[in-house]
Structure 1
């Protein structure tokens, strides 16, 4: 199996640069915010962080392709870096500290693309999570100061903590009643949103989470971190990986039940 540790170390370097840029503008009174065609906000910090990451990658991995939320796709080949410079921009522009830079590497094998490196850095929370294929998942501030992650052992929906982002998407998908049934049957539900529920699944503080509509850059880093922590990450229809346009993540024990509530008819 290929060794992705050098790529993981590079991801930390990229995250360090992005953290410095995003924290420098967090809560800035003169922060410039625009509205994209899909009516979601983008700040000058989103663009600056992605530009920094792309410039680093152009020097360190010139043969690799890059896909980013703000500047699209560049390059070709079997290896592709997938970047969300600020996941949680709405939080960022309102001064809420729950936002993160997501950095992932997908590699093409015999069975198609697979995310093999993922890093989620939330500097305003002083938290970072990461994983590389076959090496486990960890949290800490650096590679040398880290704690290994493992999902929970909760095996019953009625004992499970369920995290989600919002209600609107479930209604648009026609699965609001299914969603509400799940919330009623779980022990606890909380709307943490964005990257955070997936990281909590990986560290065992939440048992299941799901979102009805996502882009690849929202999911790629989360996917490998959850899997390397012992969990399961699929689309709502059960397709493994972050390529299905939506997400369901769990400790593995509860995954079939989760899909039974929220999966396709």
Structure 2
């Protein structure tokens, strides 16, 4: 098995620099916020952070491709870094500390490295293929993560981002059905939902519409912790345009509720 420890260490080094930048702009009085064509916000911190990440990657991994949220793709080849400079920009611009920088490495179609750094929370989560999933403040101060062992929907805790997204995708009824079947629901939102699944604090998380940069870094963190990461149609990995993440034991039951037509086809 190919090891990606050097790439993971590089992701931590880059995250150290990005954290300093984003924290210097968090709650800054002169923070500039614009609205993108898709009507989502972007701040000067988002763009500057992605520029910094790309600059570091161009020096350390000049042969690798880069895909980010704010700038055009660069490079070619099987190795591709996927970057979300600030996941949770709406929180960032309002002074809510739940936001993070997401850095992932794809080797072909497999996400082999994932790092989530949330400096306002003083936490990171990371994983590399075959190396387990970890959380802490740094590589030197880390605790290994493991998903929960909850095996029934009626005992499960479910996290999501908002109800409006489910309504826009004509899946609100299915989502509400799932929410009624579980023990507890909370809208932790964004990356936070998925790292909580990896930690075993939450058992299920789902969103109806996501991009590659929203999901890539989270995939190995969840799967190396023993969980499963698919779309709401059951497509493994970050390429299905949506996310259903679980401790593995609950996945089939949740799919049956969220996408019963596709579930019938799968059977």
Provide TM-score, normalisation by structure 2: 0.97
How many Å separate the matches in 2 of 1:207 and 1:190? 11
Residues 15-43 of structure 1, C-alpha deviation per residue, up to 9 Å, x if partnerless? 11110100001000110011100010000
Please show how residues 94-243 of structure 1 align to structure 2 within 5 Å: 94-108=94-108, 113-243=109-239
Query: How far apart are the structure 1 equivalents of 2:56 and 2:129?
Result: 22
Tell me, which stretches of 5 or more residues in structure 2 are unaligned?
262-267
Residue in 2 aligned with 1:38? 38
Structure 1 pair 162–255 and aligned structure 2 pair: CA distance change class (3 A): same
Secondary structure in structure 2 of the residue aligned to 1:158: helix
Contact 1:236–1:264 (CA under 8 A) maintained in structure 2: no
Count of aligned positions: 261
Could you tell me which runs of 5 or more consecutive residues in structure 1 were left unpaired when the two chains were aligned: none
What does the per-residue CA deviation read over 1:68-115, in whole Å, with 9 as the maximum and x for residues that have no partner?
00003111000000000000000000000000000000001xxxx010
Indicate the SS of the match to 2:125: strand
Match of 2:265 in 1: none
Q: What is the rounded CA distance, in whole Å, between the counterparts of 1:97 and 1:264 in structure 2?
A: 36
Structure 1 stretches of 4+ moved >2 Å: none
| Cα displacement (A) at 1:222 | 0.6
Equivalent-residue separation in structure 2 for 1:5 and 1:106 (angstroms)? 14
Q: CA deviation at 1:142?
A: 1.1
2-structure distance, mates of 1:28, 1:11? 26
What do you get for the CA RMSD once the two structures are aligned? Answer: 0.7
Task: Decide whether the 8 Å contact of 1:65 with 1:74 is kept in 2.
Answer: yes
State TM-score, norm by structure 1: 0.97
